């Protein structure tokens, strides 16, 4: 019997796992500097939480959710994104009682029933951040700056920041009307999905990926020309801060994002590298109404999510996150030497030094091959002669230097010290 993983999911193991770990620790480091604290929310939630927040007419809710009844017949869904669960938790745990703004980050798997392809999976991972309780554009700019710092920390190049404002509940109706008017004589040319979107939420047509719809929307009215005074001021404030921070960006007036809960600022970070059509590495926006719609107090908020697989794909192509191997490898010949090597290794490991050993009567040659494969810094060779003389040979596999050292002195050998 041979088992395979399900379609669209994947295992993560060495050496890739080192890139994942590097990304995760960079996120923790950079986000902490901005006052974001980690939050862990469940992978399953009541289905309503997603249908109500993400929106009935979005791709996610219409086509992509992993929804099924549990044994008691409740409809539950594997989370397709992290914002709705974090908002649920923020309200349920009365986190709004803490001084504002409250800032959280999370990382973990998300699930969407999509057609698997490069950069698109059914179980994929996101690192996300959500900040609650500040409406001013300073928070929007801060979040973009944090994202930029994080991606730069990972040495990501050729990043494009696209921003937009999609208005608020005051200006949205006016814009929706303008869109409806614009598309009213183009309905027959739109795809079946957009025909439905035309009726329920014409904004969604701007997010459609079908060529005919992209063509038909070319001269569609732009949301940025329909913003109310407050939204306009907010968007301008946001942009002037981006300029002050020297963050280059372009305005993409078609970027409405695939979720209904967004208000005002939306943004995407795309990379030109290696992703084919799946260029968005991170995306987010404001959702000033969502907390209230979920039954919480009126609370402006903003967040984003980074697609881990896409980020890792770029970093892999840049040869990033290459893992360093063990500091020392003890290649031993014979049972006595084997025990001696084992004991010294244990001493070193107790000091936090990464040490590997030969196992299972492997020949010296195959032990050395393994040391090489593991990318060990130093190999120590211990056999009967060495035990007798009390001195062993070492070799540095990086620069090929070699020498001898007393067995007792190995734990103090300079080359094995961990860098501070």
Nearest approach in angstroms of CB 18 to ligand ATP is 20
Pairing of strands 328-332, 355-357: parallel
Q: What SS3 state is found at 40?
A: coil
Nearer to ligand ATP, 77 or 126 (CB): 126
Nearest approach in angstroms of CB 121 to ligand ATP is 4
Under 8 Å between Cβ of 272 and 152: no
Q: Is 53 in the site for ligand ATP (CB under 6 A)?
A: no
Q: Look up tokens 């809710």; give the residue.
A: 61
Task: Give the dihedral sign, CA 104/33/35/148.
Answer: negative
Assigned token pair, 291: 């907390």
Q: Is 281 in the site for ligand ATP (CB under 6 A)?
A: yes
Q: Is 10 in the site for ligand ATP (CB under 6 A)?
A: no
Nearer to ligand ATP, 163 or 305 (CB): 305
Listed residue (63, 72, 67) closest to 48, CA to CA: 67
* Residue from the set 10, 120, 370, 391 that interacts with ligand ATP by CB under 6 A: 120
Give the per-residue contact string, 70-109, with ligand ATP (x = CB under 6 A; - = no): -----------x----------------------------
* Residue from the set 83, 89, 126, 165 that interacts with ligand ATP by CB under 6 A: 126
Residues 238-267 that bind ligand ATP (CB under 6 A): 258
Q: Is 280 in the site for ligand ATP (CB under 6 A)?
A: yes
* Residue from the set 22, 112, 197, 217 that interacts with ligand ATP by CB under 6 A: 112
Torsion angle defined by CA atoms of residues 395, 396, 398 and 399, in that order, rounded to the nearest 10 degrees: -90
Under 8 Å between Cβ of 292 and 52: no
Q: In whole angstroms, what is the distance from residue 81 CA to residue 272 CA? A: 24
Vertex 273 angle, CA 269 and 278, to 5°:
60
Nearer to ligand ATP, 10 or 393 (CB): 10
Integer angstrom CA distances of residue 7 from 3, 113, 122, 145, 224: 12, 10, 8, 36, 41
| Strand ranges of the sheet holding 250-251, from the earlier edge strand across to the other edge | 37-38, 102-111, 123-132, 301-307, 280-286, 263-271, 159-165, 250-251
- Determine the residue with CB nearest ligand ATP: 307
Nearer to ligand ATP, 117 or 184 (CB): 117
**What kind and span of H or E run contains 136?**
none
Nearest approach in angstroms of CB 157 to ligand ATP is 17
Residues 207-226 that bind ligand ATP (CB under 6 A): none
Nearest approach in angstroms of CB 278 to ligand ATP is 6
Nearer to ligand ATP, 157 or 209 (CB): 209
Nearer to ligand ATP, 65 or 282 (CB): 282
Under 8 Å between Cβ of 134 and 300: yes
Q: Is 150 in the site for ligand ATP (CB under 6 A)?
A: no
Residues 153-172 that bind ligand ATP (CB under 6 A): none
Which DSSP category does 117 fall into?
B
Nearest approach in angstroms of CB 210 to ligand ATP is 13
User: Phi first, then psi: what are they for 155, rounded to 5°?
Assistant: 60, 35
Q: Is 338 in the site for ligand ATP (CB under 6 A)?
A: no
**What kind and span of H or E run contains 119?**
none
Assigned token pair, 2: 């041979």
- How many residues make contact with ligand ATP (CB under 6 A)? 18
Q: In whole angstroms, what is the distance from residue 94 CA to residue 92 CA? A: 6
Nearest approach in angstroms of CB 45 to ligand ATP is 16
Under 8 Å between Cβ of 337 and 386: yes
Give the range of 224-232, 278-286, 335-343, 363-371 binding ligand ATP by CB under 6 A.
278-286
Q: Is 124 in the site for ligand ATP (CB under 6 A)?
A: yes
Give the per-residue contact string, 361-380, with ligand ATP (x = CB under 6 A; - = no): --------------------
CB neighbours of 181 closer than 8 A, spacing ≥ 6?
none
Nearer to ligand ATP, 127 or 139 (CB): 127
* Residue from the set 283, 337, 357, 368 that interacts with ligand ATP by CB under 6 A: 283
Q: In whole angstroms, what is the distance from residue 282 CA to residue 181 CA? A: 32
* Residue from the set 114, 136, 230, 338 that interacts with ligand ATP by CB under 6 A: 114
* Residue from the set 305, 331, 333, 344 that interacts with ligand ATP by CB under 6 A: 305
Q: In whole angstroms, what is the distance from residue 125 CA to residue 106 CA? A: 10
Site residues (CB under 6 A) for ligand ATP?
A: 81, 112, 114, 119-121, 124, 126, 258, 278, 280-283, 305, 307, 309-310
């Amino acid at each position: 019997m041979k088992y395979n993983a399900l379609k669209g999911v994947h295992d993560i193991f060495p050496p890739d796992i080192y890139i994942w770990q590097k990304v995760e620790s960079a996120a923790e480091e950079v986000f902490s500097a901005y006052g974001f604290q980690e939050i862990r929310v469940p992978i399953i939630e009541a289905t309503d939480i997603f249908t109500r927040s993400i929106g009935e007419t979005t791709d996610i809710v219409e086509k992509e959710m992993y929804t099924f009844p549990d044994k008691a017949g409740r409809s539950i869904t594997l989370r397709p994104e992290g914002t709705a669960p974090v908002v649920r938790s923020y309200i349920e745990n009365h986190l709004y009682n803490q001084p504002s703004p409250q800032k959280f980050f999370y990382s973990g798997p998300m699930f969407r029933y999509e057609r698997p392809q490069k950069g698109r999976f059914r179980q994929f991972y996101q690192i996300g951040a959500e900040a609650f309780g500040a409406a001013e554009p300073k928070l929007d700019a801060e979040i973009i700056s944090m994202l930029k710092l994080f991606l730069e920390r990972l040495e990501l190049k050729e990043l494009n920041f696209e921003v937009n404002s999609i208005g608020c509940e005051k200006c949205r109706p006016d814009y929706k009307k303008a869109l409806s008017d614009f598309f009213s004589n183009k309905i027959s040319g739109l795809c079946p999905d957009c025909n439905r979107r035309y009726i329920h939420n014409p904004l969604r047509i701007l997010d459609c990926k079908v060529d005919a719809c992209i063509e038909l929307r070319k001269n569609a009215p732009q949301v940025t020309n329909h913003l109310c005074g407050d939204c306009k001021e907010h968007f301008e404030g946001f942009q002037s801060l981006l300029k002050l921070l020297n963050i280059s960006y372009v305005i993409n007036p078609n970027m409405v994002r695939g979720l209904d809960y967004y208000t005002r600022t939306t943004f995407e970070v795309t990379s030109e590298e290696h992703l084919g059509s799946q260029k968005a590495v991170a995306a987010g926006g404001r959702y000033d109404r969502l907390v209230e719609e979920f039954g919480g107090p009126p609370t402006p908020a903003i967040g984003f999510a980074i697609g881990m697989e896409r980020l890792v794909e770029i970093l892999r192509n840049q040869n990033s996150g290459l893992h360093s191997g063990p500091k020392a490898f003890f290649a031993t010949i014979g049972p006595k030497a084997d025990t001696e090597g084992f004991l010294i290794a244990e001493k070193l490991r107790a000091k936090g030094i990464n040490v590997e050993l030969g196992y299972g009567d492997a020949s010296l040659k195959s032990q050395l091959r393994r040391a090489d494969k593991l990318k060990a810094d130093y190999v120590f060779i211990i056999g009967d002669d060495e035990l007798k003389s009390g001195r062993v040979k070492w070799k540095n596999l990086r620069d090929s230097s070699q020498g001898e050292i007393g067995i007792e002195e190995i734990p103090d050998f300079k080359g094995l010290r961990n860098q501070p």
